Amino acid sequence: MIKIPIRNLFKTSFLVCFSLLAHFAQAQQIFSTNKYPITDFRQPLDITPPALAGSFGEIRGNHFHSGIDFRTNQREGYPVYAVADGYISRLRVQNSGFGLALYINHANGFTTVYGHLQRFSPKIATIVKDLEYEKKSFEIDEFPEATLIPVRKGEVIAWSGNRGSSGGPHLHFEIRDTKTEETINPQFFGINIPDNIPPVIHGLYAYRLNGKNFNESTPKQAIGISGAAGSYKAAAPVSLTGEVGFGIVVTDRHNGLSGTNGVYSIQLELDGKMIYTSALERFSFENSKAINSHIDYPTYINTKRSIQKSFVDPGNPLKIYSGLVNSGRINFNDGATHQLRYIITDSKGNASILPFTVNAGTASFAAPVIPAGLNFPYNKASEFNSDEIKVVIPQGTLYNDLNFVYKKLPKPAGNAFSAIHQIHNRFTPLHIGFNLWIKADALPESLRDKALIVSTGGSSQGGSFDNGYLKATPKNFGSFYIAVDTIAPRIVPTNITDGKSMAGLSKMTFKISDNLSGIKSFSGYIDGKWVLMEFDTKTATLWHSFDDRTASGKHTFELVVTDGKENVKRYAISFFR
């Protein structure tokens, strides 16, 4: 195992350039020349030793993980501490996402974020609940004045939980640049996770690019590898001719109870010269979806295997790359033998090395054959029109030039008011959505406000009428048609019935769902007055916790749930407290 000892080189409160570590890995490891305080912040939990279920920048669906996930022993309710003095700068309550979250601004120019909380501390919870009643909304996103909620280092601000889009109990923790809102690897700030385990290299691939844009048709070749404990090798030299890019499958673990996490940096050398580096020090949220350009997206869609490409698409906006030579594309046409080497490093400086040999051919690759379709440049807006649809792809949507293909398919049976329109294919990633107009076929005027665009997989894209067409903004290419949603949401009470005594129960609970357009809003009323209903999207559970607003005696209760097409379901009963 090769160890690059990052932390024990800190002699001041700032990171320094790590070029002096070059001799450890026989190549300069790129960490950071940015200055970060490493003594200001304490751990947000008192669980020792700290363990991660997710690391900074690891690959998630459509995004890089924006923080680190602290394990909480598969249960909720651990005290969460302010990591430094500051003030609550943002209060966030969501049906999904972080669920309950707090943001603290600190005097050193950084903001810490605490997500998936079970509950807030009493003083914060009172302010949040008052805001929810004031706005008559469970979901809030408020930015208090700096003087409203000051906090001290080590103060309990919340308890860990599993709210929002959490896959299990844990604490999501971030450190952001307060000015830019870029999220930064917390381990640069002295948030220490015991780790002397090097990354694991699972696979190596060669892509035969030959002057073409990368897409689902790019030929890919697996290269056999073996090894462990930081030292890997290829099974045999590989013969390649023409322009080639490489990709690698890597994960990381730390000491103790570790999840399967991501790595910090990937470097590729060609004959002793660095030609590619990616390092997950920090990134902006607006560019996080470009993870789909960073990886072999078609393979991920087909198999969920995350191959990180070591060549960069021209429309990729990520700032995680450095030292690129020809964007990581290599021409093997000189008939020589070339030595390549991957250096994979985690946030603690543990490194794994994979050398391999390429025997280059001598034939120059032919000019690429342009496939059928309309050419849409990655750096310009593009448009496609027919009698029945219109597609507008804004500038900044594509990562590569695209040979756009459209196909009209028969109208599906049942709830359909247009043909199926196949907009290219699902293997091409998009950075932002595109605009789609579909002309309705025999849609009664009385149903226009219930119409929406859906994918053939049954996913609603929403939509509104625009000059005889239904318009929506899908996030991905696919096959779409017009349907209508006339069915109201469903309400299933789970612990309450008409006339029931709720004495001794802390809350009333329901399950709510919708068949197509999705839940838009919900409101509960006791004795005609709005009451707070809390919702957890992943379990479809809606509940009201009783408080002193509901006295003993008989009460009426009404629940109103509305979907995205304004179909309304009402549930009304009487109960006793």
Please report how many Cα atoms fall inside a 13 Å half-sphere around the Cα of residue 458, on the Cβ side.
5
Choose among 242, 327, 221, 245: nearest CA to 278.
327
CA pair distance 536, 162, nearest whole angstrom? 10
* Tens of pLDDT, residues 343-382: 999 999 999 999 999 999 997 766 666 667 899 999 999 9
Examine the pLDDT at 2 and tell me if it is beyond 70: no
Using an 8 Å Cβ cutoff, are 253 and 338 in contact?
Answer: no
Contact present, 492 and 512 (Cβ < 8 Å): yes
pLDDT at 1 over 90: no
More confident residue, 22 or 91: 91
Structure tokens at 552: 């003993």
How does DSSP assign 163-184, residue by residue?
Answer: -SS-SSSEEEEEEEETTT--EE
The pLDDT score that the predictor gives to residue 416 is: 97
What's the pLDDT at 32? 73
Hey, which bits of 36-155 come out as E strands?
52-54, 59-60, 63-64, 68-71, 79-81, 86-93, 100-105, 110-115, 117-120, 140-142, 150-151
> Residue 365 has what pLDDT?
63
Strand positions, DSSP E, 255-346: 265-270, 273-279, 282-283, 308-309, 321-322, 330-332, 337-345
pLDDT digits (tens, 9 = 90+) for 330-339: 999 999 999 9
pLDDT tens profile 15-28: 333 332 333 333 33
pLDDT tens digits for 238-278?
999 999 999 999 999 999 999 999 999 999 999 999 999 99
**Average pLDDT of the segment spanning 225-233:** 98
Give the N- to C-terminal CA distance of the chain in Å, as an integer: 65
Q: Which residues contact 270 (CB under 8 A, 6 or more apart)?
A: 325, 330, 338, 339, 340
Would the pLDDT of 167 be above 60?
yes
Q: Which residue has the tokens 């991501």?
A: 262
Q: In percent, how much of the chain has pLDDT > 70?
A: 93
Which domains does the chain carry? 41-189 (2.70.70.10), 200-360 (no CATH), 374-484 (2.60.220.30), 490-576 (2.60.40.1220)
Tokens at 59, concatenated: 């690959």
Q: What is the pLDDT of residues 387-424, one digit of tens each?
A: 999 999 999 999 999 999 999 999 999 999 999 999 99
3-state secondary structure of 554: strand
Query: What's the rounded Cα separation, in Å, for the pair 58 and 54?
Result: 7
Among 159, 154, 157, residue whose Cα is nearest residue 72: 159
- C-beta of residue 512 within 8 angstroms of C-beta of residue 489: yes
* 14, pLDDT greater than 60: no
For residue 33, give the nearest of 248, 257, 279, 241 by alpha carbon.
279
pLDDT at 103 over 90: yes
Note the Cα 258 to chain centre separation in Å: 20
User: Would you state the structure tokens that stand for residue 413, as one six-digit string?
Assistant: 């049976």
User: Given CA atoms 290, 294, 299, 305 in this order, what sign does their dihedral have?
Assistant: negative
Q: Which of 510, 517, 516 is nearest to 570 (CA)?
A: 510
At a CB cut-off of 8 Å and minimum separation 6, what does 368 contact?
A: 210, 211, 212
Range scoring the smallest mean pLDDT among 166-170, 300-304, 462-466: 462-466
For 169, the token pair is: 């109990």
Q: C-alpha 318: how far from its chain's center?
A: 14
Mean pLDDT over the full length of the chain = 93
User: 3-state class of 167 per DSSP?
Assistant: coil
Flag whether pLDDT at 5 surpasses 60. no
Backbone angles phi, psi at 285, to 5 degrees: -65, -35
User: Is 70 exposed, middle or buried (CB count within 10 Å of its CB: 0-12, 13-18, 19+)?
Assistant: buried
- What are the beta bridge partners of residue 376? 402
Bridge partners, 421 (sequence order): 408, 480
Closest Cα partner for 64 from 189, 179, 174, 154?
A: 174
CA dihedral (430, 322, 258, 166) positive or negative: negative
pLDDT for residue 408:
97
115-149 per-position pLDDT tens digit: 999 999 999 999 999 999 999 999 999 999 999 99
- Helices and strands of the chain, counted as H and E runs: 4, 49
What DSSP line would sit under 150-163, residue for residue?
EE-TT-EEEEEB--
- Cα dihedral sign, 61-67-68-69: negative
Residue 20, helix vs strand vs coil: helix
pLDDT of residue 368: 60
Please name the amino acid found at residue 476: N
pLDDT tens by residue, 492-525: 999 999 999 999 999 999 999 999 999 999 999 9
Per-residue pLDDT tens over the stretch 304-313 = 999 999 999 9
Residue type at position 3: K
Q: Tell me, what's the pLDDT at 6?
A: 36
> What is the C-alpha separation between 491 and 488, in angstroms, rounded?
10
Residue 283, C-beta contacts closer than 8 angstroms, at least 6 positions apart: 57, 64, 66, 182, 183, 318, 319, 320
Model pTM score: 0.92
Contact 55, 65 (CB under 8 A): yes
Place 468 in a pLDDT band, splitting at 50, 70 and 90.
Answer: confident
DSSP assigned state of 369: P
pLDDT single digits (tens) 538-564: 999 999 999 999 999 999 999 999 999
